[in-house]
Structure formats: C-alpha cells, structure tokens
C-alpha cells in the first residue's frame, strides 16, 4: 500500500448530479433548430425557390455569402462578450430573431426580401449561434470535455438528419413557404425557451467546478499538492487572447480550419443538388443527407471519446484525411445506393470535425478566454465559410459540373490535415 505521506488523498464521493449536463442538453436543443439555417437544409430550399423565382444558384447563394460575412464581423464583438456575460440572453435574443426571419421567409415575393432575411438569418446563425453554442460546453468540462462537447453537438447532427426530412415532406406536400414557417416556430419552442430558463455562464457562478468536482475536495487536493509540488499533475493552460496570438500553433490551426471551412460547407450546401443533377430522386438525395447527419452524430461521439485518449489534434488529422477521400468518393456517385453508402461513410468521417474544433482551442489555450480567442478566429473562418458555397455555385454555373471544384476542395482538406499535424500545443503559459 502507498505511504500516506506520499500518496494523494482519496477523492470524496462526487455529487450525484452535475448541472453541466443540463447545459449540454440545452446546447443540444439549440443546435437542433439552428440546423434550419445550415447549408444542408438550405440545399433543400435551393431548387424549389430558384425554380419558382427564376434565380440562378449563384444569386441564391449570394445571400448566404453576405450573411455569413456579416456574421464574421458580429462574432468579433460577441466572442469576448460571451466570456464576460455568458450566453444566456445573447442566445435567447438570437433564437427569437432567427425564428422570426424563418417565419417571415414564408411571405417573400421579391429578391430583396429574400436577401434581407437571409443576411439577418445567416449573420445570427454564424456570428452568434454557432460561436456561442461552441464555447459554452468547454467552459463546464475539462477532463470530460471531448464527450461533453460531442453530446452537446448531437442536437445539430440530429437536426441535420431530421430537418431535411420534414422540410422535404412539407415542400412536396405543401410548399417551401410552409416549411420555413414551421422551422421558425420550432426554433422558438425547442430552443429559445429552454435557453432562457436554464442557460448559465460557467460552473464557478453556481459554486461548482468543471466536471462536477467537489469544491471542498478540490481544495483539499490543492493543499496536498502545494506541500508536494513534485507530485502535482499537469495543470490546465489558461491563456489570454494576446498570449494565444504569440504561439505558432494558433496560426496553423486558423489556416487549417479555414481551408476546411471553404470545402465542408460547400459540400453540405451542394450535395443534394449534385445528387439530383445525377438523376437521383429528391427522396433518396435527402435520405442520403439525413443518413450523413445520423452517422455524423455517431462519428462525433466516437471522436469525442477518442480525443480524450489520443488528443483532439491527432484525432482531427485522421478525420481530415478521411474527409478528403470522401470528396473523391462523391464524384463516383451516380445512383441511389451509391449515394446512401457515401452518406454513411462521409458522415462517420466528417462527424467529429466541428466538434473537435471546439475542444482543441480550449485544450490548447484554456477555457477562461476561449470566447475571445474564437471571436478572432471565427471572422476569418466565416470569410472562407461564405466563399466555398458561392465559389462552387459559380463553378457549376460556368462548367455545368462540380467535378473540378470538388477535386480542389479535396486537396484543400488534405493540406489542412498536414497543417493540423504540424500544430503543436503550447507547453506552458507564457
């Protein structure tokens, strides 16, 4: 048996319930309805809307381009505010306005109306919701951060699977106008109300510690390690925004994720039109997209746990290699069963990418200022996020094919994998 003078004291029994898991559920619900303004669902609306109004795909995607760019500017303000004030009322107001834009979308009859609502909707989605939903959970967990973020991200994965199905059903049975109104009402009831009631800033505000660690036990361990510093385990890094900016790893991560943000949203936006252009029915194309999202949820859970064992960085390298292969695989899809198989593969490989982006910034630079740090990163990524679908639309309108642009995207994702491999975490706070 270890000597009592050298062995760390036994941990006391943890509380039966930790409020951080309530936060995970609330974030998951927010992600579920936020998916209504994500690219896979906008891809469902693309054909019926452009056919009704006579717009080109470039014109349609121009609205999402502008809105996403505005969202990048908004994120620069929202990021630091999330660290100081928390996400509760920021998210509540954002969901309220976004739900309204979706409902109002049902009544448009001119291009300027579509652009106005889409610019507002995409700006809120990418500048507020995507950023806020991504920084809340990492503040509540350290040791269990990978699994907690993965579980919180399940809502968006389920939303990306379920929302295209009910949207496609409403489009085919009623109209795209009915589908947008229903999506807005769901956003109010499923996300806005729970966020307003249950969201909190961080565990310390409730007298708690990350992962549900008992505060008294944590203090007892701290006193013990103060007397035996050589046995202290590695401490969590806690950097300010300025300190993070001095590390080369920060810029490698930014460039890597930016390259992915060119390619991944473009594929999400165009995969359904791509499949239907190949002669695959709308039903099978949407089913493939839904399966992709379901498998992405499974993939995110696996990678969430995996990141706790082999680090988020190494897990991301594998994910990016598999994603790159997926782009080439999509170019071979010509019939329905191939679309289904591809959706399963790409979902499993793609699922953990956006989840682990939340994890890796908190792992590298700490949780205290993760909102401010990602508030700098997010505008850069939004430029690329907005550009990818728009460039793909231009490529299709010019070439009547996605082959060249998807090949370019595959190469960019592979380069991102190399940069991720080169990004080493900071050894210590400087």
What separation in angstroms does the CA of 296 have from each of 38, 165, 290, 318, 321? 15, 16, 10, 15, 16
Looking at every residue in the chain, the average pLDDT score rounds to 86
Task: Please report whether residue 280 resides in a domain.
Answer: yes
pLDDT value at 334 more than 60: yes
Task: Please report whether residue 260 resides in a domain.
Answer: yes
Average pLDDT score over residue span 270-284? 89
Q: What's the domain count of the chain?
A: 1
Task: Please report whether residue 84 resides in a domain.
Answer: yes
Q: Is 222 exposed, middle or buried (0-12, 13-18, 19+ CB in 10 A)?
A: exposed
pLDDT value at 180 more than 90: yes
Task: Please report whether residue 323 resides in a domain.
Answer: yes
Contact 366, 376 (CB under 8 A): no
pLDDT value at 196 more than 90: yes
pLDDT value at 153 more than 90: no
Task: Please report whether residue 388 resides in a domain.
Answer: yes
Q: Within 13 A of 125's CA, how many CA atoms are on the CB side?
A: 33
Average pLDDT score over residue span 163-190? 89
pLDDT band of residue 225 (cuts 50, 70, 90) is very low
Task: Please report whether residue 234 resides in a domain.
Answer: no
pLDDT value at 191 more than 80: yes
Q: Give 55-96 pLDDT, tens digit per residue.
A: 988 899 889 889 988 988 898 889 888 888 889 999 999 999
Average pLDDT score over residue span 371-394? 85
For residues 35 and 156, give the distance between their C-alpha atoms in angstroms, rounded to a whole number: 6
Average pLDDT score over residue span 205-212? 84
CATH code, 166: 1.20.1250.20
What does the H/E/C string look like for 38-100? CHHHHHHHHHHHHHHHCCCHHHHHHHHHHHHHHHHHHHHHHHHHHHHHCCHHHHHHHHHHHHH
Task: Please report whether residue 174 resides in a domain.
Answer: yes
pLDDT reported for residue 226: 52
Q: What is the pTM of this model?
A: 0.73
pLDDT band of residue 233 (cuts 50, 70, 90) is very low
| Rg of the chain (C-alpha set) | 22
Q: Give 387-418 pLDDT, tens digit per residue.
A: 888 899 899 889 988 899 999 999 999 999 99
pLDDT value at 147 more than 80: yes
Average pLDDT score over residue span 194-202? 94
Task: Please report whether residue 1 resides in a domain.
Answer: no
Q: Within 13 A of 157's CA, how many CA atoms are on the CB side?
A: 25
pLDDT band of residue 1 (cuts 50, 70, 90) is very low
Contact 356, 20 (CB under 8 A): no
Residue 361 structural domain: 20-205+239-422
pLDDT reported for residue 371: 84
């Amino acid at each position: 048996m270890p000597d009592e003078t050298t062995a760390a004291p036994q941990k006391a029994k943890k509380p039966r319930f930790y409020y951080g898991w309530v936060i995970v559920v609330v974030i998951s619900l927010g992600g579920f309805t936020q998916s209504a303004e994500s690219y896979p669902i906008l891809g469902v609306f693309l054909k019926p809307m452009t056919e009704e109004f006579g717009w080109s795909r470039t014109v349609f995607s121009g609205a999402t381009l502008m809105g996403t760019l505005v969202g990048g500017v908004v994120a620069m303000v929202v990021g630091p505010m999330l660290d100081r004030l928390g996400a509760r009322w920021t998210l509540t107001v954002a969901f309220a306005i976004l739900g309204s834009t979706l409902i109002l979308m049902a009544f448009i009859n001119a291009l300027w109306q579509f652009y106005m609502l889409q610019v507002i909707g995409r700006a809120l989605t990418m500048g507020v919701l995507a950023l806020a939903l991504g920084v809340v959970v990492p503040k509540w967990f350290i040791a269990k951060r990978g699994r907690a973020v993965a579980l919180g991200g399940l809502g968006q994965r389920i939303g990306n699977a379920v929302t295209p199905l009910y949207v496609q059903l409403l489009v085919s049975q009623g109209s795209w106008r009915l589908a947008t109104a229903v999506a807005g009402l769901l956003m109010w009831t499923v996300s806005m109300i729970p966020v307003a009631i249950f969201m909190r800033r961080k565990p310390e505000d409730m007298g708690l510690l990350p992962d549900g660690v008992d505060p008294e036990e944590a203090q007892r361990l701290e006193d013990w390690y103060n007397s035996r510093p050589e046995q202290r385990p590695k401490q969590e890094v806690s950097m300010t925004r300025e300190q993070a900016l001095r590390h080369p790893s920060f810029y490698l991560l930014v460039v890597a994720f930016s390259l992915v943000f060119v390619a991944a949203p473009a594929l999400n936006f165009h995969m359904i039109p791509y499949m239907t252009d190949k002669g695959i029915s709308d039903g099978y194309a949407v089913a493939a997209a839904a399966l992709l999202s379901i498998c992405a949820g499974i993939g995110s859970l696996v990678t969430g746990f995996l990141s706790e064992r082999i680090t988020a960085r190494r897990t991301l390298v594998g994910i990016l290699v598999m994603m790159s292969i997926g782009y080439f695989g999509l170019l071979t899809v010509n019939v329905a069963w191939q679309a289904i198989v591809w959706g399963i593969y790409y979902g499993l490989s793609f699922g953990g990418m956006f989840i682990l982006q939340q994890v890796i910034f908190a792992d590298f630079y700490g949780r205290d200022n993760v909102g401010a740090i990602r508030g700098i990163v997010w505008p850069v990524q939004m430029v690329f996020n907005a550009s990818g679908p728009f460039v793909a639309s231009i490529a299709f309108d010019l070439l009547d094919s996605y082959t060249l642009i998807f090949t370019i995207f595959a190469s960019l994702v592979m380069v991102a994998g190399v940069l991720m491999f080169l990004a080493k975490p900071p050894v210590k706070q400087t």
